[in-house]
Structures are given as structure tokens and as C-alpha cells.
Amino acid sequence: MPQDVQQILFIRLSAIGDIVMASGLPSSIKQSYSLNGKSIELTWLVEAPYVSLVSSQPYVDNVIAWPKNEWRALLKARKYWALFSAIKAFRKTLKQKEFKVAIEAQGLLKSAFFAYISGAPQRIGFKSKENSERLLTFAIDKPTSPQISSEYRHLAEKLHLYCNNTNVGLPEYKMCIKPSDSVMQSAISKIDHFGLTQPFIAIAPFTTRPQKHWPYAHWQHFICMVRNHCTLPIAILGGPNDAANAEALTFECDDVISLSGKISLEESVCVVSLCKAFVGVDTGLTHLATSYEKPTVSIFGSTRPYTQTDNINTHVLFEDMVCAPCKRRPSCNGKFDCMTLVHPEKVFEQLKPYIS
């Protein structure tokens, strides 16, 4: 391996929202570390389902997939020796790259473990409740800030200082998820087939936890308000598990088209990049719309909202309740008032200037 190339391992395993918000780090890392005169080759370690999402990122040279589901299946089947062999083989794959630096941007024990078994002598990452910093050589506190990607921006600043002993010349932090040309062409072909041949509004009603969902009746009311105001088609984004609920929303008004389960995650990324305006809950596609500087209305509830973004056309709506952010431990017995109290009229008023 050429001595003038410094191999760096970047670890952000999942999920799509954090991958989007951490996507400014590869550029920052390369710029900060290249000041020592060496070329940088950056490898992103990510869970297998997200490989194609990051592989076209312009500052990523290689991608290594963590086969999480395969390991989990072996553990569930109590095939411990096979699991041990799989981990050993994975460790060998990491060590073959001869990483000098491993940067873990997840702040979990598992991500720090991968930094450790990579063999990198410098292992930099976040402190955590799991004491994962014991596997690192330099650990950083996660900040609390209203700025989007705040923890990753903070990590970028600390890495620059760590490399250069100064914050002078700190690289600009800019989220960057770029689909490949082939995926873009596939997405365009599919949405054309579904009738999205003119400027359209994209919405993302679905996410991973019920406390982050906006009520179904609110979405119905909102869609009808949009349709009464303009004729722009509305594209509903989501995964295969969301298809039935998405289809139900299409019966309310004309030109409401469900793409849920009909296009891939990477093609959904393309759709976000093509839309005229975007409305969504706290999910990765919503953060992506902000990164693409689309007019975006973000609806937050149980999670801490960011109120500062690099997109002047992002509008973050949330109710500042005493119990918020409850994150994964709601205390409202399923009422989710934080989401219910964000009324459709309020969302529509934020969107209206961009679709008039």
C-alpha cells in the first residue's frame, strides 16, 4: 500500500437520518487530514442496507458493509462458532486496509468495537453511556445544540483541531448525499410512469416510532387543503411496510400518488432532490430535503428539534411541551399531544408561499 496515502475508517452504521446528517464528515475529514501533505483514502463502514446510499458520496473512496442481519441470524440460531468465525473474518477485512485512523460517529459500544478491531492506532469518537470511549484513544462529548447535525459539526471541529492544533481553516460542514446517475435515471423513469411529469410536492408521513408520527387525520386534512389551493401532484414516500397506509391517503383527492414500496430508498432520495417542496416528520428523507435546500416543513414531536439549518427555507414545527423530548420513552399513554397539537392549518401556512 502506498506510504503517501493515509487510510481512514469512518464509522456511521445507521440509520438513514443520521447517515444524512453525518454525510458532511467525509469532506471535513479529508480536508483536515490532508493538510499534513498526505493523500487521504476514506472508507465508510455502514450497515448493509445503506451501502448504495453512501457509495456515490463524492468524498467516500470505499464502502464496507456490516452484515448485521446475518450476524443476528447466527446469534438467534445459537450458531456461536459460525458467528465467531464471521466476526474474525470481518476483522481480517478491516485490518487488511491498514487503517491509521478510525473515526466512529455513532457513539455506541458496537461502533467503537469496530474501530478497535480495525487495528487503527488512532481511534476517535464520541463518549457514550455504554463507556465505549474505553475502546478509543480520543473521546469527545456530544453537544446539545439546536443546529442540525450539531454533534457531527462538533466532531469535525475537534478533528480539525486534533490534526492541526488550530481551528484556522476549518472546513465548511455541508451534508452531502449524492445518488448515482443510473439510480437518478431509474427514479425519473419510474415517477414518469406514475404521472409525476410536472413539479410536485413530496411528503414523508412515515417513520420508525409511533410518537414521531403526525396523526393520519391531520395528513388527510392537510392533503385536502393543498389540493384546494393548487393542482401540484403530491407524491407520498415510504417503505414497503407503509404501502397500505400510503395508498389510503391517495383516495382523499386527485393527483395524490403513493410511491411507498414502489421505489427503492436510493430512488426516494432522487425524488426528494427533484421535488418542488417537501413536508415530513422527523425522518431521514426530511433531513435530506433540507440538505438539498428544498422548501421544507419538518414536524417534530418526541425528539429534540433542530431549529437552525443551512436552508433558509426549512421551517421546523413543534410544540414546546414539558415532557418533550421524551425520545423513546413517551409518558403520555399514547396520546402523543406533541404531534396532535401541530395542526394541519399551521403546516399548510408554512408550505403555502412555495406552492402558490
pLDDT greater at residue 40 or residue 208: 40
Range from 26-30, 66-70, 153-157, 207-211 carrying the lowest mean pLDDT = 207-211
Report pLDDT for 334: 76
Mean pLDDT to the nearest integer, 261-270: 96
Q: What's the length of the chain?
A: 356
**Pairing relationship of beta strands 101-104 and 5-11 according to DSSP bridges:** parallel
* C-alpha span between 2 and 148 (Å, rounded): 37
Q: If 0-12 CB within 10 Å is exposed, 13-18 middle and 19+ buried, where does residue 102 land?
A: buried
Query: What domains lie within the chain, and their CATH numbers?
Result: 5-164 (3.40.50.2000), 181-355 (3.40.50.2000)
Mean residue pLDDT across the chain: 93
Maximum distance among all Cα pairs of the chain, rounded to whole angstroms: 64
**What does the pLDDT look like over 292-327, one tens digit per residue?**
999 999 999 888 889 999 999 999 999 887 887 887
pLDDT over 70 at 194, yes or no: yes
Mean pLDDT to the nearest integer, 138-153: 93
Range from 95-104, 159-168, 190-199, 326-335 carrying the lowest mean pLDDT = 326-335
Report pLDDT for 285: 97
Beta bridge partners of 8: 42, 101
**Pairing relationship of beta strands 277-281 and 296-299 according to DSSP bridges:** parallel
Report pLDDT for 123: 97
DSSP 298: E
Q: Give the three cell numbers for residue 103.
A: 473515526
Q: 3-class DSSP state for residue 235?
A: strand
Report pLDDT for 269: 97
Which run of H or of E encompasses 249? helix 243-249
* C-alpha span between 327 and 324 (Å, rounded): 8
Range from 95-99, 302-306, 339-343 carrying the lowest mean pLDDT = 302-306
Report pLDDT for 3: 58
Which run of H or of E encompasses 299? strand 296-299
pLDDT over 90 at 203, yes or no: yes
**What does the pLDDT look like over 17-37, one tens digit per residue?**
999 999 999 999 999 998 777
* Percent over 70 (pLDDT), the chain: 99
